[in-house]
Structure 1
């Protein structure tokens, strides 16, 4: 019998890493030894996985000895430095950062949509899309398979902790809310919130409490932000539609967890809402929650701590029989981060089991 593969979780003490450790306990156990890896300052600490306490190991070349698959839940610069090291030691790497998403030799995978892409990995690395793309793509991918997508216009409402802001974003929002709490007239005059917050804007370009910020990421081409470009580029890659027309706007909103996306999707032929409901209701990883007259629609408060993408407000565009408008929400740390990476890892193991091999999953 082939032994179960050895897994390394790099970034085990971060926000996504903490979610990952819980998931490893909750999901089917396909792993043998699990090594928890983090920065040297966290080395020696203990964390629980699968009901056992494990010591955190410092990130270094030796931690990848004998590892079959390494999950990277770390910033882009760390992944760029250490993922090739893990590969050189014989591991398959699944990376959640933006370090390799644009590399044509690194497949970008959402298992519900293009699991087959994980089979061919010239660099030994599989990338996971960003958290906003993952919220969007679950519903859009299912509709595309049925109706043939031709154009997308999306407005992403990004939570404080997502889209690269991490714990600093959440802490900044909570601190700002503390500063403005109880101010009954705050927001009635320009600059009220900005004066209350002062310099405490953290990773954001302005105050987020009682406010929205129509900017996320860094400056890109033609006035777009890097986050908006990522939504376009990642969606095209996952759907294998390199010329798909996509317009994206990212807005940072005062929500701790859970991204929301307003979607206008145009298709090759006329669409009926009833059939769209059927497609979404049976799509893997999607929950249809669409009864707005009775208050039935997803919100970030509903989806926080859950795995699926939730979809509501599904309606045909008022002026276009080939277009649908809909609203999507997903937890940015679960499907938007840890869950998709773990599903990719499980996919690699399953693909390996289909082939005749001994030794590392990298032999597939």
Structure 2
């Protein structure tokens, strides 16, 4: 059986990646519809090697007959159109922040809490976490199952593409301006991003944390375990694609670096690259275009009981967004829509 799939936000970074991922993984779709808003309407996007889709206006689109709607637009678009799509009978899989903390909407990373998808029918909406939360949950899940993680201290290093095409363009234009001695212009990021790092992602909250740091905390708890304590610092770095994180965990049970390597190597969606040598670890440049979450620099932290520190990276447009949404759709088809 084939399905009718709509991709909302099809001209953006994540939307294009969703179309690529659907084609690459041979998702059982009889029809794929590209949707967007405003100036993107009427443009053309590629689907697979040969197909070209003309982008239709999401505001005028009737979702009747659509089985799955993948939303890759911003929260405002999701708020306006996801409930409409769900009411028309489509199962919405939303990559925006709009529904992530809605108690009636499952927040799903298939390798971590795929069973949570069973609750999709309450709203006909499923949320996909933010890229940093997916990275963290994927890295923690195998270790939590074995050693019971009680506390996490994490610093994320998040790519410019997390802020969309505009973020990538600003990094490129600022880098070029510095090389040719032109004035550096900024509009997307709060400070210069080229040749710099910015310890600020999202608006500040009353306690001094940013919205993204709060989201990383609550999304990790919702996906993995509400009892885990998370202390997060989110940093924007001058990288086009690839989120990374320096992670330190405290566990209830004793843990060794070698045990952690063994467990992580066996975990679905994970790859361990961890040699104590100059080229024996992973960096964002190397994860771009790949699906797994990569882990390196695994070592015991002797400053706390049962402590472990490690480094993790993933392509934020793939597993951090598009791939996770498509994997949710695959699980939905396998476990529920075909039933």
What's the TM-score, normalizing by structure 2? 0.95
The answer (yes or no) to whether the contact 1:61–1:85 under 8 Å persists in 2 is: no
Alignment of structure 1 residues 197-346 onto 2, 5 Å: 197-198=183-184, 200-239=185-224, 241-346=225-330
Q: Distance in 2 between matches of 1:42 and 1:160?
A: 21
Specify the alignment match of 1:192 in structure 2. Answer: none
Distance 1:214 1:42, change over 3 A: closer
Aligned-residue Cα RMSD (Å) equals: 1.5
Q: Distance in 2 between matches of 1:308 and 1:63?
A: 35
How far is 1:48 from its partner?
A: 2.6
Distance 1:118 1:37, change over 3 A: same
The structure number with the bigger radius of gyration is 1
Q: When the two structures are aligned, how many residues end up with a matched partner?
A: 337
Consecutive unaligned residues of structure 1, counting only runs of 5 or more, are 184-195, 356-364
Distance 1:116 1:197, change over 3 A: farther
How far is 1:119 from its partner?
A: 1.3
Alignment of structure 1 residues 34-113 onto 2, 5 Å: 34-50=32-48, 51-60=50-59, 62-113=61-112
What's the TM-score, normalizing by structure 1? 0.89
Runs of 4+ in structure 1 off by over 6 angstroms are none
How far is 1:272 from its partner?
A: 1.3
The answer (yes or no) to whether the contact 1:96–1:127 under 8 Å persists in 2 is: yes
The answer (yes or no) to whether the contact 1:219–1:226 under 8 Å persists in 2 is: yes
Distance 1:197 1:133, change over 3 A: farther
Specify the alignment match of 1:190 in structure 2. Answer: none
The answer (yes or no) to whether the contact 1:93–1:125 under 8 Å persists in 2 is: yes
The answer (yes or no) to whether the contact 1:270–1:322 under 8 Å persists in 2 is: yes
Q: Distance in 2 between matches of 1:222 and 1:45?
A: 43
The answer (yes or no) to whether the contact 1:168–1:202 under 8 Å persists in 2 is: no
Q: Distance in 2 between matches of 1:311 and 1:68?
A: 36
Q: 1:19-72 CA distances to partner (integer Å, 9 max, x unpaired)? A: 111111110332221111112433333323243222221113543120011000
The answer (yes or no) to whether the contact 1:271–1:321 under 8 Å persists in 2 is: no
The answer to whether the aligner puts 1:348 opposite 2:332 as a matched pair is yes
Specify the alignment match of 2:16 in structure 1. Answer: 18
Specify the alignment match of 2:152 in structure 1. Answer: 152
How far is 1:321 from its partner?
A: 4.4
Please say which of residues 61-70 and 124-133 is displaced more in the overlay. 61-70
Consecutive unaligned residues of structure 2, counting only runs of 5 or more, are none
